[in-house]
Structure 1
């Protein structure tokens, strides 16, 4: 008996391999598994995006014969680089320079970005994309459109295609829009702030369905009038977990993989580690702080100021497969939620890979947030508040004692629902729902 033909879904995403980073992986993994649930994905993405780094290890996840449409994009980043003296360099947006401060030129470009490039610098890709995709869709019909942001200008493409082509549209919010942690840093005028909120409301109210990554985000978009809101967290792909023997680290290694800006600098942890090293020689000898990814200068300055430099190793940017091996070999995996007003709704995507490799997780963030709920539910680790140094010391002391006894690794429970394949099944369900209404 022949299988029914797959429905077709057009996915509009700024981030796509060979660009690296967690923003790429969410929809790369959905695309990897959508065919298993009766959907044929077509990807629309920029030909020449501004990418902080490339990760060719992600290319292995491409399903065979997936259609990927790439179109040129113009972005004002060359102007930004010229103004700030960074011509020829990759951007690390939101990061301070080596002095730990944002200079006048950087502050000027942030003001211009927030007030003139609304909702973000990719706005210039919206009109040509809508024009191209309207022609494409006439010849290559699809059953649904998905847009994923940030950058939230991708949603404006979906908004126009919804209006002009009357197709089912699913808007995916990997991060909030006006409630994102750096929104207050954009130095917005009242008209610009109003326009950001107006565009956000238009997207939320016109999309046939919304995807968000946390319960807190769901409540926020409920208040904005969204419908068919599904919490679809990030997850882990079993294919990414190293199964071969990874040489374990002999020291008491605390590992962080990912981006750490100044708002994510876990000062409470560095203070706790510094005090423990000053009172426990054995702990000081065995402690290793290993970090990989994009780390703000404020983080390394704090580590140095608390005399932890000799325990610290920075590995720079790692391809995804190497990052997985590092996590597998470490003793404690560090997670940090940005210390910002929206912290309760932040669930960093790295959490799910941490769960899959089966190592003890130490999270810094609100004890009543969505991140803490998942860690308690799975029994994978502990959450320490941003200012609770005593709790951090108690937790780390317990971890170190378990490490000495060879009993540090937890046994996480109920993590199967966070597998990328299971999450794609839930995605297919909402796509079926919005296309059958």
Structure 2
């Protein structure tokens, strides 16, 4: 079995979406002839923690950890945030105007930390990675970003050991650095991608465009491997037990994601449509900023809302299996068409209707349409939205499936099948490196 070094900042007990992709790759790589060896950090500053994820790590896995200086501890102290709390910048500062302190922190972040605030682990990470490769006789190295510092470590390991490097990009490189710093880093990292990277894996079009813009030399090395789900597909649609129509949103929710237009027309609909008013419930599971909570409470009756804080992923899975429908809300950003939220491909596996607030002809809409899993909510038209909600809710009430789920296409998003694609890429890179 060939060994492959995996460089990742996020590792259990880290929770949230950042850990799922690499954890599932590691879980299934052994099925395809690869033994992962992990290089991660001892003291990661994670927004949320999920100790239940330890159970998904193969018992034979070798894990190497290193201590790194975490600037976010100073950041929390300066901003007056509890040191023990997991800090999620998105939900804390979601839509608020930045304070003077926050502007100072952003200036430091933009001018000192390149490529990101985890950059302090780069020198030690490269040295430790080289030692691991020699000791374990690894045939390749994989990095997953963000943080992009993990990619820098992997590129350094590849440079000094000669093994091929697979660069997995979950999200595009951030744009917070000043122009001069960005250009310097991008030019250097682009050279490494050109000379040492065998493949660049990305999960969505936005990440692909971001790579192309920042690092043109990624060239024809791009490979699309989306996120997915990791449980058995139900053979058929299962009617939820709840008497309410629970439209469930899972994950972080912050002000720039607030669906203002949907809220506006839904307020009008429930004034006139007692069936929707009495049966629909908007349910949130995860971190949601106080500003968004206040907005929902201002616009809808309390019995139409449910808020639940972050729960371990295994518990979340059971909750989503009992939902009536699953809700996707995309950020109000120009690039939203190219974004595919991590939850989208996991939602597919529940075979529940997916209702989405997002731009027309977006990447997400294409995925839920081709799998027969869901529809875009036509928020520009109140009557169509009302017909859509009423039709789906009445179908569920009668025990009928409101969607024509394509079982074959949905199955392609299982994490094991997606890991098989990564294994093929690894095999090709290793064989090419031998020539």
TM value normalised by structure 1:
0.90
Q: 1:247 to 1:336 in 2, by over 3 A?
A: closer
Quote the residue 1:432 is aligned against: 427
- Which stretch shifts more, 305-314 or 212-221? 212-221
Quote the residue 2:58 is aligned against: 63
Deviation at 1:140, TM superposition (A): 2.3
Q: Distance in 2 between matches of 1:296 and 1:390?
A: 31
Quote the residue 1:18 is aligned against: 13
Contact 1:346 / 1:370 at 8 angstroms: preserved in 2? yes
The yes-or-no answer on 1:34 pairing with 2:29 is yes
Q: Give the alignment partner of residue 108 of structure 1, picking from 97, 104, 109.
A: 104
Contact 2:371 / 2:410 at 8 angstroms: preserved in 1? yes
Q: How many residues are aligned here?
A: 424
The yes-or-no answer on 1:168 pairing with 2:164 is yes
Q: Distance in 2 between matches of 1:111 and 1:391?
A: 46
Deviations 1:181-204 (A, max 9, x none): xx3xx3x43313423533553454
Q: 1:279 to 1:210 in 2, by over 3 A?
A: same
Q: Distance in 2 between matches of 1:408 and 1:270?
A: 26
Quote the residue 1:402 is aligned against: 395
Q: How does 1:305-344 map to 2 (within 5 A)?
A: 305-344=298-337
The yes-or-no answer on 1:125 pairing with 2:121 is yes
The yes-or-no answer on 1:369 pairing with 2:362 is yes
Which ranges of structure 1 fall in alignment gaps of 5 or more residues? 1-5
Any idea what SS the aligned residue of 2:217 has? coil
Quote the residue 1:155 is aligned against: 151
The yes-or-no answer on 1:209 pairing with 2:204 is no
The yes-or-no answer on 1:262 pairing with 2:262 is no
Q: Give the alignment partner of residue 46 of structure 1, picking from 41, 48, 53.
A: 41
Any idea what SS the aligned residue of 1:294 has? coil
Contact 2:239 / 2:324 at 8 angstroms: preserved in 1? no
Deviation at 1:106, TM superposition (A): 2.0
- Which stretch shifts more, 103-112 or 317-326? 103-112
Deviation at 1:79, TM superposition (A): 1.0
Q: Distance in 2 between matches of 1:311 and 1:13?
A: 40
Q: 1:409 to 1:46 in 2, by over 3 A?
A: farther
Q: Distance in 2 between matches of 1:403 and 1:323?
A: 22
- Which stretch shifts more, 122-131 or 216-225? 216-225
Q: Distance in 1 between matches of 2:140 and 2:179?
A: 36
Contact 1:147 / 1:158 at 8 angstroms: preserved in 2? yes
What is the root-mean-square deviation in Å for CA atoms of aligned residues? 2.5
Deviations 1:41-68 (A, max 9, x none): 1111111100122212222211121111
Q: Distance in 1 between matches of 2:324 and 2:144?
A: 34
Any idea what SS the aligned residue of 2:328 has? strand
Any idea what SS the aligned residue of 1:375 has? helix
Deviations 1:225-248 (A, max 9, x none): 3132110000111259899x9972
Q: 1:331 to 1:272 in 2, by over 3 A?
A: farther
Deviations 1:273-328 (A, max 9, x none): 22221112232121211101111233213212323444111110111111111111
Q: Give the alignment partner of residue 371 of structure 2, picking from 353, 364, 378.
A: 378
Q: 1:153 to 1:241 in 2, by over 3 A?
A: farther
Deviations 1:11-53 (A, max 9, x none): 0001111111121111111111111101111111111100122
Any idea what SS the aligned residue of 2:89 has? coil
Q: 1:256 to 1:119 in 2, by over 3 A?
A: same
Q: Distance in 1 between matches of 2:208 and 2:179?
A: 26
Q: Distance in 2 between matches of 1:200 and 1:308?
A: 52
Deviation at 1:387, TM superposition (A): 5.6
Any idea what SS the aligned residue of 2:349 has? helix
Contact 2:5 / 2:140 at 8 angstroms: preserved in 1? yes
Which ranges of structure 2 fall in alignment gaps of 5 or more residues? none
Contact 2:240 / 2:324 at 8 angstroms: preserved in 1? no
Q: Distance in 1 between matches of 2:388 and 2:69?
A: 49
Contact 1:288 / 1:312 at 8 angstroms: preserved in 2? yes
Contact 1:268 / 1:388 at 8 angstroms: preserved in 2? no
Q: 1:198 to 1:43 in 2, by over 3 A?
A: same
Deviation at 1:161, TM superposition (A): 1.4
The yes-or-no answer on 1:303 pairing with 2:303 is no
